[in-house]
Amino acid sequence: MTILGQLALWLALLIGAWGTFVGFYGGLKRRPELVASARRSTYALCGVLIVASAGLLVALLNHDFNVSYVASYTSRNLPTVYILSAFYGGQAGSLLFWAVVLSIFGALAQLLSSRKYDHLLPYVAGVTSAVTLFFVVVTLFSANPFARLPFTPADGNGLNPQLQNPGMVIHPPLLYLGYISITIPFAFAMAALISKRLDVGWLHAIRKWTIVSWLFLSIGITLGMWWAYVELGWGGYWAWDPVENASFLPWLTMTAFLHSVMIQEKRGMLKKWNMILISLSFFLSIFGTFITRSGIISSVHSFTQSSIGTYFLAFLIFLIVIVGGLILVRLPTLESESHLESMVSREASFLFNNLLLVGIAFSVFWGTMFPMISELVRGTQVTVGPPFFNQVNIPIGLGLLALTGIGPLIAWRKASIVNLRRQFAVPVTAALITAILLVALGVGHFYATLTVALAAFVTATVLQEFWRGVGARHRLHGEGYVHAFARLVGRNRRRYGGYIVHMAIVTYFVAFAGSAFRADLEASMKPGDTVQLASPWGYTYSFTHIGVSQYDELNRLVSAASVEVARDGERVGIMKSEKRQHFTCEQPISPCPRALRRPSFEPSTEAGIRSDLREDIYIVYAGSVEGTEEAVYKFTLNPMVWWLWFGGFVLVVGGVVTLWPGTVVRATRQADTQGGYAAQLVEADHA
Amino acid sequence: MRRREALKRVAVLPLLPLVLPLPQEVEAQEGQAQPSAPNLYDPSRVGRARPRVTDYENDPFIIDVEGRIRCTCGCNLDVYTCRTTDFTCGVSPEMHRQVVQLVEQGRTADEILEAFVAEHGEAVLMAPPKEGFNLAAYFVPSIAIGAVGLWLLWALGRRRVRVELAGAPEGPESSGLADEDREKLEAELQDLEL
């Protein structure tokens, strides 16, 4: 199968090159046979890359340790689910994964796009084929997953224990799906530029793709935080690591695009800006891959350093030059159709929302790259870690949170004083009451207080929007409130799905604010010893060390330290944190006899976590004193973490609502909804 | 039944020393201090032996200082996070000991940080010191955002004036509606943007 896989990769190289050529040439020359060939090429490219992927999967599942990639990332005793995740767990496999997923997306874009975008599709095929071709080239010439060893080891190295976690099974592919699917909106944008068809058609064509991409990125990032939290053992979920930043950058620009695109759709404004934003998002997805894989910036998440950084850098520069040139050439056709009428309008608030989103993206980029810049300018290395990012980004982030609430409250075109008063009264009151309550309760942390007050403001805006919408439907149509709510959301899924996503973002912010009150305690404890830790909620937790038990599991030797936990004297339960020593077998025997076990990695740590709505109890067994059951623990009380994962769930719900396929609203039914004061005015006018 | 089970267990107890290893005796023969906690079956499974925790490990001042010093093992973490997370790292415990020594000598936080910078260079700090070229790290993003924001305000304001001077149709006023009606209409439309 690996030979077939290798052959399929070479075929992909040829088909990708052909698809790229006929896509652009056929589109420019308007030759239907070449255009059809470009479309078929995307399907063929998808087919051969699926075969190549199947080749690698078979090699992984068959423990073909003669294949270097299989020997490097798997072992005989690795559970099947992690053997499958090893497909994208290493450098070469992840590149193949990227190529195959992109080819699937490319084929789907051809297959699912309405025929009314036929004038764009040849160029879309050209772009997706070209980007897939790049990944195939890198896979073939720099990181080939089918490369063979001169010998066949009895067992492989196994997968890094930190990657043997359910979070790592789903987090990377979802993040990749986010990164990769940005290519489709980018391809449509390029198609619009090349074909000079710069009306809103291309925006309609990519609407769902953009949301899908943003959703995958969001879920991927959230799952990454979850994985870091449960697996890395430091009790946090975001460390401003360069690789984390790399995933955050395209998310920020895509979020900006999702907002600014509405202004172009409604008012024909910001055409240049939207073109720049979608291109920037695509560049940043490639940039993220570049810094993850090039080794230019040190990160705990990086793949092994290799020459592929050069490929990515060259590709990135090529893209920036070509796309920048294309946008410059088309500038005259990207003029706005209308202008901003008031600085107090939804358009203006979206503009400032864009400014802050791109501002945060810039500051994250700047901070991530500053060590390199400093070395280039001064010849001195510096570290830019969490203290810097928090200091610079928290104020901007809070400004953004405020705009999340302000934007939907202001009318399109121009808001009147009455409009502002009517819209802002309740949310501002909610924010003020929350702030006063928090201060009265003794919450002294400025940023946390401000965050929660702003969260109350945004929540009130969203609830107010839902309340008024439901109320209007109830009054106009006599619908029950539940029915009115369902109809309200159903009739404008994009708007109300967006509000649900806003609530998810609010939930994230509240969870972030909770991290300001984290409490930690280190202790070495003999069995029976008890320590206490005060919670920010006013509870006192008692932790009693029970003992350490050691036992064997499939591919690891486990040492589990148990702690009995009580809150204010009431028993909470027994929590367990583990040390795991993974091993591989010197001979292909299963189960592996003790004498043949070979430790494959340093012992890893599994945190014990117990969550509730208020806080997480997070216990880490750091090790033992002098080989005894006297355990060294780190106890952490992490307020509000549960809300982060709940926010992720709400975000998915909002995204699904936004994406849910709708029926076409007939004009007559649309007319039915026009009533109330507007209808009365029209009727009065006619009378 | 329960009673019988309990009696069986009690009967087996005297046999336990015959089947279990006698770590305390072995320790005593080797002339070492007797640990009061039972020995682990296989200590190698839990990684490097850990020292007992002292008050220094939980000292907020030390934790704060260590949060500002980068562990030099290449993990990208600060010393506090590294020593309480990456238990395979031998560097962060050593740096922690250094911090404790400096604290015992009565050094202030700034003096401790200076001592580490003198030994390891500026890169040992988790955030660049706010001086010289490093100021660019802190202020370029906010200056850029502020400048673009001001430019936006200026450019949009200018364009709006130009549109008004050119006699572009004024939406609300040209509708022939009274102010009150227009505001009610706006509010209603806001509700009905379904």
Contact across the interface for A416 and B186, Cβ inside 8 Å:
yes
Distance from CA of A106 to the nearest CA of B (A): 34
A321 contacts A329 by C-beta, under 8 angstroms:
no
Average pLDDT over every residue of A83-103: 93
Preceding amide of A591 cis, omega within 30: yes
Question: Residue A417 contacts by C-beta under 8 Å, 6 or more apart in sequence?
Answer: none
Q: Determine contact, residues B104/A334, Cβ cutoff 8 Å.
A: no
Residue pairs spanning A and B at CB distance below 8 A: 258
Cross-chain Cβ contact A359/B128 below 8 Å: no
Chain position carrying tokens 């050094």: B107
At residue A554's C-alpha, the angle toward residues A551 and A556, to 5°, is 60
Contact check, Cβ <8 Å, A579/B40: no
Give the percent of chain A with pLDDT over 90.
Answer: 64
Residue range A485-500: mean pLDDT, rounded? 90
Radius of gyration of chain B (CA): 35
Cα A427 to Cα A356: distance, rounded to the nearest angstrom = 21
Query: Cβ A522–B53 below 8 Å, yes or no?
Result: yes
Tell me which DSSP letter residue B138 carries: H
8 A C-beta contact, residue A450 and residue A398: yes
* Interchain CB contact of B128 with A (< 8 Å): yes
Per-residue pLDDT of A69-87, as tens digits, reads 999 999 988 999 999 999 9
Question: A132 with A106: CB under 8 angstroms?
Answer: yes
| A contact residues 384-413, partner B, Cβ 8 Å cutoff | 384-388, 391-392, 396, 411, 413
Contact B155/A at CB under 8 A: no
Residue from A272, A388, A665 whose CB has the most chain B CBs within 10 Å, to mutate: A388
Q: Measure the CA–CA gap between A499 and A404, rounded to whole angstroms.
A: 9
- Of A232, A234, A636, which to mutate for an interface test with B (greatest number of B Cβ within 10 Å)? A234
Partner-chain contact A418 B187, CB within 8 Å: yes
* CA neighbours closer than 13 Å in the CB half-sphere of residue A539: 21
CB neighbours of residue A180 within 10 Å = 27
Mean pLDDT of A575-584: 90
The answer, for B77 touching chain A at a CB cutoff of 8 Å, is yes
Q: A426-444: per-residue pLDDT in tens?
A: 999 999 999 999 999 988 8
Q: Check residue A290 and give its pLDDT.
A: 84
Per the model's pLDDT, the better-predicted residue between B193 and A193 turns out to be A193
Point out the residues of chain B with pLDDT beneath 50: 1-3, 6-35, 168-177, 193-194
Indicate whether this model's pTM tops 0.95: no
The answer on pLDDT for A262 being more than 60 is yes
DSSP 3-state assignment of B154?
Answer: helix
pLDDT at B13: 42
B27 or A651, greater pLDDT = A651
Residues of chain A in contact with residue B140, where contact means CB-CB under 8 angstroms, are 366
Per the listing, tokens 């206490």 go with A532
Question: A419, B190: Cβ pair inside 8 Å?
Answer: yes
Which of A522, A531, A550, A621 should we substitute to test contact with B (largest number of B Cβ atoms within 10 Å)?
A522
Contact criterion met (CB < 8 Å) for A381 and B123: yes
Region A111-131 average pLDDT = 93
A positions 287-316 inside 8 Å of B (CB):
298-300
Q: Is-contact A122 A26, C-beta < 8 A?
A: yes
Asked if B173 reaches chain A (Cβ–Cβ under 8 Å), the answer is no
Using an 8 Å CB-CB cutoff, list chain A residues near B40: 548, 550, 559, 624, 627-629
Residues counted in chain B: 194
For chain A, say whether B118 makes contact (Cβ under 8 Å).
no
Pairing state between β A530-534 and A519-525:
unpaired
Identity of the residue in A348, A362, A625 whose CB atom sits nearest the CB atom of B144: A362
Kindly report the backbone phi and psi dihedral angles of residue A17, in degrees, each rounded to the nearest multiple of 5, phi listed first: -65, -45
d(CA B52, CA B39): 15
Contact B56, B103 (CB under 8 A): yes
Q: CA A123 → CA A119, A342, A355, B85, distances in Å? A: 8, 38, 31, 50
- List the single residue in B with minimal CA-CA distance to A494: B194
Determine the pLDDT at residue A296.
Answer: 63
How sure is the predictor about A299, in pLDDT bands with cuts at 50, 70 and 90? low
| pLDDT for residue A96 is more than 90 | yes
Does residue A559 belong to the interface with chain B, where contact is any CB pair within 8 Å?
yes
Rounded to 5 degrees, φ, ψ at A453 are: -65, -45
Cα–Cα distance list, B158 to A187, A335, B151 (Å): 35, 17, 10
Q: Whole-number mean pLDDT of chain A? A: 89
The answer on pLDDT for A686 being more than 50 is: no
Q: Are A156 and A75 in contact (CB under 8 A)?
A: yes
Instruction: Determine the straight-line distance between the first and last CA of chain B, rounded to whole angstroms.
Output: 72
Measure in Å the smallest separation between the Cα of A624 and chain B Cα atoms. Answer: 6
Give B43's DSSP letter.
Answer: G
Helix (H) or strand (E) holding A634: strand A631-639
* Helices (runs of H) and strands (runs of E) counted in chain A: 21, 10
For residue A542, the SS3 value is: strand
A77 three-state secondary structure: coil
Q: Any CB–CB contact under 8 A between A367 and chain B?
A: yes
* CA neighbor of A633 nearest in space, from A647, A648, A623: A623
Q: How many CA atoms lie within 13 A of A561 on its CB side?
A: 35
E-assigned strands of A586-630? 597-599, 604-606, 608-611, 615-624
- Give, in degrees to the nearest 5, the angle at Cα A268 between A262 and A271: 85
Q: Cα separation of A182 and A106, whole Å?
A: 11
Sort B150 into a burial class: Cβ within 10 Å, 0-12 / 13-18 / 19+: exposed
Integer-rounded Cα Rg, in Å, for chain A is: 28
* Greatest mean pLDDT among A235-249, A337-351, A642-656: A642-656
User: Testing the interface with A: which of B46, B71, B120, B130 to mutate, by most A Cβ within 10 A?
Assistant: B46
Is the minimum CB–CB distance between B178 and chain A shorter than 8 Å?
Answer: no
* CA atoms of A265 and A205, how far apart (whole Å): 12
How many Cα atoms within 13 Å fall on the side-chain side of residue B100? 14
pLDDT, greater one: A227 or B180: A227
